[in-house]
Structure 1
Amino acid sequence: MTDGLDPRELGTYFALMEAVGVLQHHVEQQLRAEGGISYVQFQLLARLADADGPLTMTQLADGVVYSRSGLTYQAGLLEKAGLITRGSFAQDERATLVSITDEGRALVGQVLPGHVQVTRRLLFDSLSDDDLQHLGAIMTRVRDHARAQPPRSAAPRKRRAAADAAADAAPDSPE
């Protein structure tokens, strides 16, 4: 079917989106209750805690698939709470380096057991070992296919892209 999804594709799509939505909702509730942070903030802190050192804002945005402006806002909240620090990057003045603080690491350690419990209960407990292996392979393939597109942080900003498109479409003015 070229005009839309066939019933099997549509059913699979809705099942996936509903499962992800339910899981994310429960994870979000757990993170807010146990740590006072959102899921996005947890993703940022967990990535920083797992990194070998500071990450740039672009690396964080690409890793959590979040907009640059949204990430800047979330980083500001985390910095104000003393969970991360931001600083300049000597090799590239345009880049901002982000590091997790000891307080940020402690918060990740505080919420991680509950996060694991919710994830295990809602996702992994319903799967056999064979299911887990297949689901992991399928989702890795889907993720890699989706990530073959340029990351959001590499996409031109809408205003600049629209202005460039308008300039390209305008006839050359006589001199």
Structure 2
Amino acid sequence: MPASDQPPGIAAYFALLEVSALLHHEVERQVREEAGLTFVQFQILASLSESPDGSRRMTDIADQIVHSRSGLTYQAQKLEEAGYLTRGPAPGDERSTVAALTAAGRDVLESVLPGHLGVVGEVFLDPLAPDDATELTRVLNLVRAHMRSRPPRSATRRARR
């Protein structure tokens, strides 16, 4: 379909897809080279670091980073084997699992964060004027709030096979 025949906003959608893929590729490369982490592992550690006590329910992490529960379990197992987090039953709800950031996990996150911020700045933020970044943030927050108003992935039933 020629660009002139596309509904309004479709060009923004395709631009967002491409920008997201390019940024993901650069961040994945950086965290792998600097710390041997996958992008998802970096996201898990970052999510835990945002919590005041450094811990979160696995389901909440999966919902935040929009990752499958089984995939998150696998990545958390790798992080646990590396000594970057621990997992155990949630207090008061043994059906839930809580992941907790270890000192080693904090250290690896702190070591990779400057490079991460550098890559994000270089490939994503540098071409934006301050007003552009403010407007982009406003628009993305609007879309994110709309999308997050739907039930999280963990609330949807798994398809039976």
Normalised by the shorter chain, which TM-score bucket?
over 0.9
| Residue of structure 2 equivalent to 1:66 | 67
| Residue of structure 1 equivalent to 2:140 | 139
State the alpha-carbon separation in 1 of the partners of residues 144 and 58 from structure 2. 21
Question: Displacement of 1:50 after TM fit?
Answer: 1.9
- The one-letter amino acid paired with 1:6 is Q
Q: Which runs of 4+ in 1 moved over 2 A?
A: 5-10
Question: Displacement of 1:8 after TM fit?
Answer: 4.3
Deviations 1:99-138 (A, max 9, x none): 0111100000111000000000111111111101100000
SS for the counterpart of 1:157 is coil
Aligned residues: 156
Q: Which runs of 5+ in 1 are unaligned?
A: 163-175
| Residue of structure 2 equivalent to 1:114 | 115
TM-score, normalisation: structure 2: 0.92
| Residue of structure 2 equivalent to 1:15 | 15
- The one-letter amino acid paired with 1:90 is P
State the structure with more CA Rg: 1
| Residue of structure 2 equivalent to 1:33 | 33
State the alpha-carbon separation in 2 of the partners of residues 91 and 121 from structure 1. 45
Q: Which runs of 5+ in 2 are unaligned?
A: none
| Residue of structure 2 equivalent to 1:128 | 129
| Residue of structure 1 equivalent to 2:97 | 96
Determine what percentage of the aligned residue pairs are the same residue.
46
State the alpha-carbon separation in 1 of the partners of residues 18 and 91 from structure 2. 44
For the aligned residues, what is the CA RMSD? 1.3
State the alpha-carbon separation in 1 of the partners of residues 90 and 77 from structure 2. 17
State the alpha-carbon separation in 1 of the partners of residues 11 and 96 from structure 2. 43
Q: Does 1:49 align with 2:32?
A: no
SS for the counterpart of 2:9 is helix
